[in-house]
């Protein structure tokens, strides 16, 4: 009789991520191809295991003022209440109000890649977001303030030794608030998260990093509740 094992199932998910990311790094010689393949591995994880109310895609983000973010490797966004997603010549453009989180994916973590990810995250957080009152059966809820957009960096390995030591923390702290990385994973080593209550980073090393990161991300998304209802007429002004 076959016995199910939750630790084995969760461990297998983590091991599969490490193996696929490692294969991408070893097998592809062209840096662009290697990077695209690694992004696809992370996207597959999120598309498969996040609750269905969320979607994850490589995309640009736009606001109702016509401002665009830089291209983001992974955008996690609402698809249950968001009425406005653009698809154009293979490019996906998402309204700023619908965004829950954005991530950059790299082969390794180092100071340059953290700085790069911080700039990408800031390009999304600086966009303007509308919000409207929400009607319900007995009246109207007031407009919900825009939620905090989580930002992060995903990688297989680190250029630092130890990989999750002081150099990592110093690089993470060397930015303005709108560029802060809240969450990140080094699949062979562990993950980090910014604890807003203490304004400090927490390091979780060892164990099953990719699986632990996934669960932490889902927990953070749950805390975000639902994105605000966007004002579609503000976008309609561009017609």
Active-site option among 39, 73, 97, 157: 73
| Burial (Cβ within 10 Å: 0-12, 13-18, ≥19) of residue 29 | exposed
pLDDT digits (tens, 9 = 90+) for 40-60: 889 999 999 999 889 999 999
Active-site option among 39, 63, 97, 106: 106
Q: 177 φ, ψ to 5°?
A: -60, -35
Instruction: Give the pLDDT score at 140.
Output: 86
Instruction: Give the pLDDT score at 33.
Output: 64
In the residue annotation, 73 being an active-site residue is answered as: yes
- Does position 37 have pLDDT exceeding 60, yes or no? yes
Q: Where are the beta strands (DSSP E) in 63-213?
A: 72-78, 86-88, 91-95, 99-105, 108-109, 134-136, 139-141, 150-155, 157-158, 183-186, 190-195, 200-205
In the residue annotation, 234 being an active-site residue is answered as: no
pLDDT digits (tens, 9 = 90+) for 98-134: 999 999 999 999 999 999 999 999 999 999 999 988 8
- What is the band of 85 on the pLDDT scale with cuts at 50, 70, 90? confident
Q: Which of 18-22, 23-27, 75-79, 93-97 has the lowest mean pLDDT?
A: 23-27
Q: Where are the beta strands (DSSP E) in the chain?
A: 54-62, 72-78, 86-88, 91-95, 99-105, 108-109, 134-136, 139-141, 150-155, 157-158, 183-186, 190-195, 200-205
Portion of the chain with pLDDT greater than 70, in percent = 95
Active-site option among 78, 104, 157, 182: 104
Q: Is the overall model pTM greater than 0.85, yes or no?
A: yes
In the residue annotation, 63 being an active-site residue is answered as: no
pLDDT digits (tens, 9 = 90+) for 153-210: 999 899 999 999 999 999 999 999 999 999 999 999 999 999 988 999 999 987 899 9
């Amino acid at each position: 009789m076959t016995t199910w094992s939750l630790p084995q199932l969760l461990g297998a998910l983590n091991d599969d991520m490490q193996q696929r990311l490692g294969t991408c790094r070893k097998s592809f010689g062209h840096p662009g191809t290697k990077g695209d393949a690694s992004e696809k591995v992370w996207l597959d994880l999120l598309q498969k295991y996040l609750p269905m109310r969320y979607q994850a895609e490589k995309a640009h983000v736009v606001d109702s003022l016509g401002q665009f973010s830089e291209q983001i490797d992974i955008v996690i966004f609402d698809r249950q209440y968001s009425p406005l997603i653009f698809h154009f010549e293979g490019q996906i453009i998402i309204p700023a109000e619908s965004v829950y989180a954005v991530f950059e994916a790299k082969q390794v973590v180092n100071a340059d890649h953290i700085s790069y990810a911080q700039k990408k995250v800031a390009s999304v957080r600086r966009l303007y977001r509308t919000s409207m009152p929400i009607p319900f059966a007995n009246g109207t809820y007031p407009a919900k303030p825009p939620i905090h957009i989580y930002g992060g960096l995903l990688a297989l390995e680190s250029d630092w030794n130890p990989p999750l030591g002081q150099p990592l923390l110093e690089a993470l702290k060397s930015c303005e608030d709108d560029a802060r990385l809240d969450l990140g994973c080094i699949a062979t080593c562990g993950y980090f998260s910014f604890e807003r209550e203490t304004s400090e980073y927490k390091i979780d090393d060892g164990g099953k990093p990719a699986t632990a990161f996934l669960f932490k991300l889902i927990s953070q998304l749950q805390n975000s509740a639902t994105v605000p209802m966007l004002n579609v007429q503000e976008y309609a002004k561009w017609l």
